[in-house]
Amino acid sequence: MGPGDLSKALKGLPCMTNINLIRGLDCPDDAGVYKLTSKLAIIQTVDFFTPIVDDPYAFGLIAAANSMSDVYAMGGKPLTAMNIVCFPTGTLNISILNKILKGGAEKIMEAGALLVGGHTVDDKELKYGLSVTGIVHPDKMITNSGARPGDKLILTKPVGTGILGTAVKAGLVNKKTVKIMTESMATLNDKAAELMQEVGVNGCTDITGFGFIGHTAVMAKNSQAGITIFSDSIPLLPDAVDFAQKGVLPGGSHRNREFYSHLVTFANGIPQHMQDILFDAQTSGGLLISVAAGKAEKLLQKLHRAGVKDSTIIGEVTKEHKGRLVIV
């Protein structure tokens, strides 16, 4: 389902507001946030999808890391998680599900969270993910509407998982690249979230299904600011350019282009394959962090020291072209 279908599906739903609901559907962010006390808010999010790599254990790791990412994007910590499973019991051996769930549990433990339950339905197509509850201090919640003109934008993981995932399904990707992309997708955004809180930042979102451009455009729109992206600075997964040049693109990327094109201006000379990469639907991508220019280098150094090695300054927030992206 693309972003256009999503807005149609939500059309006409009752708008539920409450003094304690500090992020809900009236102000969509990476996750819902509900204030319990003046010092504590819960963060709720859910995500599940079909396998993107062949190895079931690795798929479990990736799906769980992806599901917890929205908690980190809000500057929070995951506390508890529940498995969501669709499984074709008639055609697949249950040992496959066991491996997926082991991968998921491994990531939940790494995040310092607890698996507390789950639900499985029989379905023709395998799907797995988590429903996650996290916590954050309500005054320290980091939203996708806080980017301020003058901020620098830091991206913490390389882009290209949608294109590479499509190439993996066609059997075109070498083992080394599969390993690198799997590790990247299976990496938690926990360290980046912790360091954002330590340094103090203005805004954050994570890069997932709507692609780099989709999520960045939402940040620009919600922050009522412009964003300029330095396309040469975007960290990329190995071979992503190669497959993009060959036109290996997932369906979700076309839908992202249709929906978000009107919010983007590409400078002359940005090649077609780079545009495709920037629209590419991502799985378990990095955090996009908007931080005051004076703190950007410090945060970047801390990220690199903590092992979030692909972190790069990839753009800046502007007063000009409010609500739009300019890609140079």
Residue nearest to Co ion (CB): 30
For Co ion, give the closer residue by CB, 9 or 92.
Answer: 9
**Cβ of residue 290: shortest distance to Co ion, in angstroms?**
10
List residues near Co ion by CB under 5 A. 30, 47, 70, 73-74, 142, 144, 204, 206
- Do 136 and 41 touch, CB atoms closer than 8 A? yes
Alpha helices in the chain (DSSP H): 3-10, 56-73, 94-110, 161-169, 175-186, 190-199, 211-223, 240-245, 251-260, 272-279, 293-305
**Cβ of residue 304: shortest distance to Co ion, in angstroms?**
22
For Co ion, give the closer residue by CB, 181 or 204.
Answer: 204
**Cβ of residue 324: shortest distance to Co ion, in angstroms?**
20
For Co ion, give the closer residue by CB, 67 or 318.
Answer: 67
**Cβ of residue 189: shortest distance to Co ion, in angstroms?**
10
For Co ion, give the closer residue by CB, 108 or 274.
Answer: 108
For Co ion, give the closer residue by CB, 142 or 168.
Answer: 142
Q: Helix, strand, or coil here: 78?
A: strand
**Cβ of residue 67: shortest distance to Co ion, in angstroms?**
8
Tell me the two tokens of residue 161. 């998982």
Q: How far is CA 93 from the centre of its chain?
A: 31
